[in-house]
């Protein structure tokens, strides 16, 4: 039945054209943004998950920066500790060999003391210079915190974030303290500290030889203590390095996970765009034909 008031064919064509135009708009949005879920209205569940994951990734980025700062701090202290241990030409190792040399009968110990003094001053300067971002664990004062927390990880279970950290106890690495309680400035029960010991006044007497033996034992113990501190920091350094690599890999994994949730398949969208453009053109043609069909009613009244 031909009706002047109701053109069912045109209405069907118009409905089809509206549907195609809506799909075309969605496809163009996906192509322009690169995402199939760019707003909550696209897919509320995926958008919510992706938003949370992006927030977690931002937190992981901050953790990565903190790990870099922590690693630099630990590396500075570790380098200073190994320098203090030294080798045959410097540090505690050289100091020990000088004290052994001082046991030689008839040797001029005042000249050896000149070298000892230089080593003592150099070790103290090394400890004082081991400062990064205002932090120094080797030469401490009364205001230096007793512990430092180095941020190492971030995780979130449900809505509860958890920040992991590595706790460093300053006393384990202090070579010098304002209260003279460090590894190198603590006086022994029968001997001065490594920092202040002097052999220039010692002689070949049995008592002075015994004193030298005590000095040598004290320096040996100092080497062991500093080496233990360096080994501890080396372990912390390795842990920070491992965590840094893990956090970077985790950030990449989170990025890939977000992409799998919300990114558009550009090959698929390109194909869909071409198909919808053709459908749109055909819809316009179909609507035009449907609208023109009403013109045939006029011929009945001529």
Q: What is the domain-level CATH number for residue 118? A: 1.20.1330.10
Is 182 part of any domain? yes
Model's pTM, two decimal places?
0.78
Reported as a single tens digit per residue, the pLDDT across 173-201 is 999 998 888 999 998 777 789 999 999 99
Q: Provide the domain count of the chain.
A: 1
278 is a domain residue: no
Task: Indicate whether 14 belongs to any domain.
Answer: no
Q: Which of 12-16, 213-217, 228-232, 249-253 has the lowest mean pLDDT?
A: 12-16
C-alpha separations of 194 from 20, 48, 141 in Å: 87, 62, 19
Give the SS3 label for residue 103. Answer: coil
Determine the pLDDT at residue 11: 82
Q: What is the pLDDT of residue 6?
A: 65
Q: Is residue 77 part of a domain?
A: yes
∠216-220-223 over CA atoms, to 5°? Answer: 140
Residue 67 counted as domain residue: yes
- Is residue 241 situated within a structural domain? yes
**pLDDT per position as a tens digit, 211-220:** 999 999 999 9
| Nearby residues of 73 by Cβ (< 8 Å), 6 or more positions away | 132, 133, 135, 150
| Helical (H) or strand (E) element with 72 | helix 44-85
The mean pLDDT value of the chain amounts to: 88
Strand 139-140 to 176-177 pairing: parallel
Report the share of the chain in percent with pLDDT over 70.
96
On whether residue 208 sits in a domain, the answer given is yes
Query: Mean pLDDT throughout 272-290?
Result: 85
- Which contiguous run of DSSP H or E holds residue 176? strand 176-177
Classify residue 239: in a domain, yes or no.
yes
Domain containing 191 equals 44-262
- Name the pairing type of β-strands 147-157 and 160-169: antiparallel
| Strand 139-140 versus strand 160-169 pairing type | unpaired
């Amino acid at each position: 039945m031909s009706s002047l008031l109701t053109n069912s064919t045109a209405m069907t064509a118009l409905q089809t054209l509206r549907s195609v135009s809506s799909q075309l708009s969605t496809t163009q949005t996906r192509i322009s943004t690169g995402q199939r879920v760019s707003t909550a209205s696209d897919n509320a569940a995926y958008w919510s998950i992706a938003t949370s994951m992006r927030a977690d990734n931002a937190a992981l980025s901050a953790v990565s920066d903190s790990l870099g700062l922590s690693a630099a701090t630990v590396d500075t202290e570790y380098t200073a500790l190994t320098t203090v241990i030294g080798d045959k030409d410097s540090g505690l190792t050289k100091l020990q060999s000088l004290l052994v040399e001082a046991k030689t009968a008839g040797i001029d110990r005042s000249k050896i003391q000149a070298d000892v003094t230089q080593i003592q001053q150099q070790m103290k300067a090394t400890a004082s210079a081991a400062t990064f971002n205002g932090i120094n664990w080797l030469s401490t004062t009364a205001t230096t915190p007793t512990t430092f927390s180095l941020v190492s990880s971030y995780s979130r279970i449900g809505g509860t974030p958890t920040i992991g950290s590595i706790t460093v106890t300053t006393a384990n690495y202090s070579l010098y303290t304002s209260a003279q309680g460090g590894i190198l400035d603590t006086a022994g029960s029968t001997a001065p500290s490594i920092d202040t010991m002097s052999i220039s006044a010692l002689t070949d007497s049995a008592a002075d030889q015994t004193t030298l033996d005590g000095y040598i034992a004290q320096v040996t113990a100092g080497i062991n203590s500093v080496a233990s501190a360096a080994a501890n920091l080396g372990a912390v350094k390795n842990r920070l390095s491992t965590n840094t690599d893990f956090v970077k890999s985790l950030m990449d994994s989170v990025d890939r996970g977000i992409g799998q949730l919300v990114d558009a398949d550009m090959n698929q969208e390109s194909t869909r765009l071409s198909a919808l453009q053709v459908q749109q053109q055909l819809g316009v043609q179909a609507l035009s034909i449907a609208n023109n069909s009403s013109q045939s009613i006029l011929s009945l009244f001529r």
